Amino acid sequence: MGKHATILTSGACAASIDFDGALAILAAHARPLGKESVALADAGGRHLAAPVLARIDAPRRDCAAMDGYAVRDADLKNGTIFLRSRGTSYAGGAKPGAISAGETWRVMTGAPLPHGSDRVVMIEHCRHRGELVALDAAPLGKPHVRKAGSDFVAGDELLAAGTRMTAARRVVASAADHSEVEVWRRPRILLVATGDEILAPGCASRMPNAIPDSLSGAIEQMCVLAGADVVARLRLPDNEQAIAEAQQEASADVVVVIGGASRGDRDFGRSAFASLGLGVAFADVAIKPGKPVWYGRLGQTHVLGLPGNPTAAFTVASLFLAPLIAGLSGGKISDALPWQLRHSTRPIPPNGPREAFLCASLSYEGAAICDRQDASGQAMLGLADCLVRRPAHAPTANVGDLVPVLPLC
């Protein structure tokens, strides 16, 4: 199982590990799941479990890169040139015969070239007069010929194992004549939202003490965008037994517990799984917001506990859940944390003893932190599209200073 963090006794407040240390532990556990072959149509966003090798050459034969006339360089001289047309070659057609001195073939883009030709003169520079083609001047520059195998040849590795399939990479796999690829399996996620007070959105107004469950749907969308399948979504009361039994509801690779992560009288998120033999890998991370986050293993199942405060939960999911999914999917933890340096467009006050991740909005000018950094707030998330990372005890950041920024999905 590897290194586990020391779990503090009830009532303790000090963090037990910093963000980078917790992320390193997560990376050590987030190993790819099983392999499977899928159709290219279903491979979008998946990570390759095996390289994609070309099955054919591309191009498969010398072909025209432009519409025009295939000629021999030896026939091109200064002044107007007249060549006799032998016919037309189309893409996908049979290769035309050879051309001799003073001859040409009309060719369409992608069409095979006649033997002996070494240049295509663009159609804009030619005049067709019966059987003769007139070139007003000898062409210069590119020959507009794509040589056989000039892009790749059979056996070339075009996509490495671990590559994430995108629309552009689907072009490559298709061009290599593959109808399917071998990928790592998508993680199956079970979401468990806890709290006596939470009801489905749209129902809370019927009860005076209820609040809408604003997190389950958002975390589900984040999981899907990160490349996972959410197999079940439960909303449970603050009941330790009910939470412990939730793991039996679905065959999941990851259980995400939303709420009950702190040390209140009804915070049963961690203790419910501890009763089943949970091995905690880290907890109480020195970050703000989201200090109560915890992560462990229950056999082969990964269990991640998110705080119940909405902004804290969303921040922690961006920092830990998305990377966990990336690692289990065959990618790198860093794939889900594409930090970039951007200029701060507003002053940022000095930071306290815990590393902070501040909600901010991005523009072409840089990042502007939101006015209110409230872990339990929700309205701020309507403005935030990135997190600004601030080291512990960081001094004031002035307008124009470069700060690390993480775009939010």
Question: Do 90 and 190 have their domain in common?
Answer: no
| Domain CATH number, residue 122 | 2.170.190.11
Question: Do 180 and 190 have their domain in common?
Answer: no
Quick: pLDDT tens for 295-322.
999 999 999 999 989 999 999 999 999 9
| Domain CATH number, residue 197 | 3.40.980.10
Give φ, ψ of 30 to 5 degrees: -85, 70
Question: Do 193 and 329 have their domain in common?
Answer: yes
Kindly state whether residue 9 falls inside one of the protein's structural domains. no
Q: Is residue 129 pLDDT above 60, yes or no?
A: yes
The alpha carbon torsion through 260, 261, 264, 266 (nearest 10 deg) reads 20
Question: Do 99 and 214 have their domain in common?
Answer: no
Kindly state whether residue 201 falls inside one of the protein's structural domains. yes
Q: What residues contact residue 23 under an 8 Å CB cut-off, 6+ apart?
A: 319, 320, 323, 333
Residue at a domain's end among 84, 118, 146: 146
More confident residue, 206 or 112: 112
What's the whole-number average pLDDT of the chain? Answer: 90
pLDDT of residue 262: 58
More confident residue, 241 or 228: 228
Quick: pLDDT tens for 109-127.
999 999 999 999 998 888 8
Quick: pLDDT tens for 252-276.
999 999 986 556 545 577 888 888 8
pLDDT band at 70 (very low <50, low <70, confident <90, very high): very high
Burial readout 282-307 (b: 16 or more C-beta within 10 A, e: otherwise): bbbbbbbbbbbbbbbbeeebbbbbbb
Q: What residues contact residue 382 under an 8 Å CB cut-off, 6+ apart?
A: none
CA–CA dist 32, 16 (Å, integer): 27
The total number of structural domains in the chain stands at 4
Least confident of 173-187, 228-242, 343-357: 228-242
What whole-number percentage of the chain has pLDDT above 70? Answer: 94
Name the residue range of residue 174's domain. Answer: 38-57+156-184
Q: Is residue 9 pLDDT above 90, yes or no?
A: no
Question: Do 216 and 319 have their domain in common?
Answer: yes
CA–CA dist 344, 390 (Å, integer): 12
Residue at a domain's end among 94, 116, 146: 146
Question: Do 74 and 30 have their domain in common?
Answer: no
Kindly state whether residue 385 falls inside one of the protein's structural domains. yes
Q: Is residue 287 pLDDT above 60, yes or no?
A: yes
Q: Is residue 11 pLDDT above 80, yes or no?
A: no
Least confident of 23-27, 64-68, 217-221, 377-381: 377-381
Mean pLDDT over 401-408 rounds to: 96
Give φ, ψ of 232 to 5 degrees: -160, 150
Kindly state whether residue 123 falls inside one of the protein's structural domains. yes
pLDDT band at 238 (very low <50, low <70, confident <90, very high): confident
Q: Is residue 14 pLDDT above 70, yes or no?
A: no
Question: Do 379 and 253 have their domain in common?
Answer: no
Question: Do 264 and 137 have their domain in common?
Answer: no
pLDDT of residue 261: 57
Question: Do 173 and 277 have their domain in common?
Answer: no
The residue among 189, 162, 185 whose CA lies nearest residue 302 is: 189
Question: Do 126 and 137 have their domain in common?
Answer: yes
Question: Do 310 and 200 have their domain in common?
Answer: yes
Kindly state whether residue 6 falls inside one of the protein's structural domains. no
Measured at the CA of 209, the angle between CA 245 and CA 194, to 5 degrees, comes to 20
CA–CA dist 240, 311 (Å, integer): 25
Kindly state whether residue 179 falls inside one of the protein's structural domains. yes
| Domain CATH number, residue 179 | 3.90.105.10
Quick: pLDDT tens for 160-198.
999 999 999 999 999 999 999 999 999 999 999 998 888
What whole-number percentage of the chain has pLDDT above 90? Answer: 70
Q: Which residue has the tokens 């080291």?
A: 391
Kindly state whether residue 318 falls inside one of the protein's structural domains. yes
The CA-to-CA distance between both ends of the chain, in Å, stands at 30
Question: Do 167 and 45 have their domain in common?
Answer: yes
